[in-house]
Structure 1
Amino acid sequence: MPILGAHKSIAGGLHKAVERAAACGCQCVQLFTRNATQWRAKAIEAEDARRFRRALDEYQIGHPMVHDSYLINLASPDRRLWRRSVDAFVEELRRAHLLEIPYVITHPGAYTSSTESAGLGRIIEALDEVEPQVRDCRAGCLLETTAGQGTSLGWRFEQLAAILDTVRNPDWLGVCFDTCHVFAAGYPLGTSRQYEATMKAFDRVIGLDQIRAIHLNDSAHPLGSRMDRHAHIGRGHMGLAPFRHLLADPRFQQVPMYIETPKGERRGVDWDVINLRTLRRLSP
């Protein structure tokens, strides 16, 4: 059976994300460990970490995952922003370590006013600078596939491969496969043949064994649009078929999957509950 969960709010404390995940029937949970739109972060105290771990045990939620701050841009040509991003990413990994969370998921970055090759070079430089600073941490980094909106990197499998193949130590890195982003980037997933072709391409360029987490999101925009906007499962341009293929794929039965679909309610029912129910109905 697939391991299904959701991204949850930490409002009221880190442990609250776990409680909210349990209330929605999650088996795993993704969270920010801080306000994702601010550079300054409140320190994680020992009691915060204890309450978080206790909640995981109490509610039997596994595979906690951190998503890093939206402000971090490891591809930025602005040297000041790049430096701030590197320092902030080190802190993200240390915070995950304090919580005993195995991975921090990050978008590779956007090259803005420079070039693709220069942006990839800066990401590699950043990761090579970060890695020695976090060798004492148990948290690794997952590079997320992106939609390719604007100058964002990571939308072609070859871009992620360039990073993984060039960093000095790739052992602490892996990939988070986002269905919406891959679809928006132009990789079809609808028919069985299309799904297998996309997975074969990923395996050839990067390796399916590098996928350590999956984001299950439908897309509000068409195939190849390079627009990053998530939709509820089966209610966007992807439909249900890609999720049916993915949930039945034996290669991913032990890979945690998290929805990042729009929040809110429909007729008094939490949308996360609705989306998770939809996914479970699709599971073989």
Structure 2
Amino acid sequence: MVKIGAHMSTSKGYHRVPFETLEIGGNTFQIFPHSPSMWKAKLPEEKKVELLKEAMANTGLNPGDVLVHSGYLINLASPKKEVREKSIELLKQEVRIVEMLGLKYLNFHPGSHLGTGLDTGIDRIASGIDEVLSTVENSEIILLLENVAPKGGNIGSTFEELKLIIERTSYSDQIGITYDTCHGFDSGYDICSRNAVEKLLIEIDHWLGLERLKMIHLNDSKYPLGAAKDRHERIGEGYIGYEGFTAFLSNDEILKRPLLLETPGGNAEHAEDIQRVKKILGIERDVDE
């Protein structure tokens, strides 16, 4: 069964997300655990947690296919002490929220070294991860490192960099990756032919092992291959295009992972993009039929 969904707003409450996911033709989703542009994150009320769990059960959605995306302010690689400490504390709080919601995967951007050097930035990320996961040693939470566009001192635009982060942590068993098609395209990873997709998977397997690939962010790109711009586009409307996504989605290894849209627009646009993906896959009705 192909798992597909989109990043969903929680403005109407966590419990509305599973139902709205079905309405747009999806069977999984991604959410923020709090406002992504704020340093503070409150733990959800027990009643709201129970409503979400009931909604998941009533819709038949699998919590193991859902992704929670960390806030945008977090930068474990920051050389600024205050920023790094706040990042660690916020990530700890996000882990607690994910646990309370009965979910498993928390995705975050590794961070930027802000010009202080790749190696020291990787060390800061790895030790920050250790500090976060040391507080939840018996947890089943998996932190997912997302590949990023190679700009602004960003770390994690290559699989080698992601591997170095994982190797330097003490909790490698609790770390996986999310592959973002737009960010990868920005970094020079072509997916516009079947051979290119095979090459991508071989590289992931070489550096990380395919078992670490847990989620796919399915985004087209507003800019050409290797542009390093990080501008998402709707499916088929960017430089990856229908031909690229046809090649990408023809690979069975890719389809084993949840496909999560972070394309521009709201529910109406996401419903259209999901239908575009289904059409590429030859699925004319619901994804699970």
TM-score by length of 2: 0.93
Q: Helix, strand or coil: the match of 1:146?
A: coil
- Per-residue CA shift, 1:152-178, capped at 9, x if unaligned? 111011100101122112000000011
Q: Which residue of 1 aligns with 2:275?
A: 277
Match of 2:287 in 1: none
Give the strand-richer structure, 1 or 2. Answer: 1
Matches within 5 A, 1:197-276: 197-264=199-266, 270-276=268-274
User: What displacement does 1:149 show?
Assistant: 2.5
The secondary structure found in structure 1 opposite 2:19 is helix
1:242 deviates by 3.0
Indicate conservation of the 8 Å contact 2:221/2:232, yes or no: yes
Q: 1:52 to 1:264 in 2, by over 3 A?
A: closer
The corresponding residue for 1:96 is 98
SS where residue 249 of structure 2 aligns?
Answer: helix
Q: 2:6 maps to what in 1?
A: 6
Q: Which runs of 5+ in 2 are unaligned?
A: 283-289
Q: How many corresponding residue pairs?
A: 280
Between the aligned partners of 1:42 and 1:126, the Cα distance in structure 2 is 21
Q: Distance in 1 between matches of 2:50 and 2:266?
A: 29
Pairwise mapping of residues 126-141 of structure 1 onto structure 2 (< 5 A)? 126-141=128-143
Give unmatched runs, 5+ long, in structure 1. Answer: none
Greater than 4 Å deviation, 4+ residue runs: none
- Give the match for residue 87 of structure 1: 89
User: Could you say which residue in structure 2 is the equivalent of 1:182?
Assistant: 184
The alignment status of 1:36 with 2:36, answered yes or no, reads yes
Out of 147, 164, 167, the position equivalent to 2:166 is 164
Q: How many angstroms does 1:23 deviate by?
A: 1.4
Q: Residues 16-75 of structure 1: CA distance to partner in whole angstroms, max 9, x if unpaired?
A: 222321210111010012111111223211111111111112222222210001011111
1:122 equivalent to 2:120? Answer no
**Aligned partners of 2:78 and 2:216: how far apart in 1?**
26
Distance (Å, rounded) in 2 between the aligned partners of 1:169 and 1:64: 22
TM-score, structure 1 length as denominator? 0.95
Q: Which residue identity lines up with residue 180 of structure 1 in the other structure?
A: C
Q: What does residue 74 of structure 2 align with?
A: 72
Displacement of 1:264 in angstroms is 4.1
Query: Which amino acid in the other structure matches residue 33 of structure 1?
Result: P
**What amino acid is aligned across from residue 66 of structure 2 in structure 1?**
P
C-alpha distance in 2 between matches for 1:157 and 1:138 = 24
- The question of whether the paired residues in 2 share the 8 Å contact of 1:178 and 1:216 is answered with yes
Deviation for aligned residue 1:248: 2.5
The equivalent residue for 2:286 is: none
Q: CA deviation at 1:15?
A: 1.4
Whether the aligned pair in 1 keeps the contact of 2:160 and 2:207 (CA below 8 Å) is yes
Gap change, CA 1:132 and 1:264, over 3 Å in 2: closer
| Partner secondary structure for residue 198 of structure 2 | helix
For residues 181-234 of structure 1, give each alpha carbon's deviation from its aligned partner in whole angstroms, at most 9, with x where no partner exists.
101111111122222112211211111111011110000111101111100001
Q: Distance in 2 between matches of 1:264 and 1:67?
A: 17
Q: What whole-Å deviation, never above 9, does each CA across 1:237-283 have from its counterpart, x for those lacking one?
A: 11123322332222233311100000148xxxx11011000101111
Counterpart position of 2:198? 196
Whether contact under 8 Å (2:194, 2:250) holds in the other structure is no
Q: Distance in 2 between matches of 1:194 and 1:250?
A: 14
Structure-2 separation of matches of 1:9 and 1:212: 22
Q: Which moved further from structure 2: 15-24 or 169-178?
A: 15-24
Give the secondary structure class of the aligned counterpart of 1:81: helix
Higher mean alpha-carbon deviation, 116-125 vs 191-200, is at 191-200
- The separation in 2 between residues aligned to 1:172 and 1:195, in whole angstroms, is 26
Further displaced range: 244-253 or 159-168: 244-253
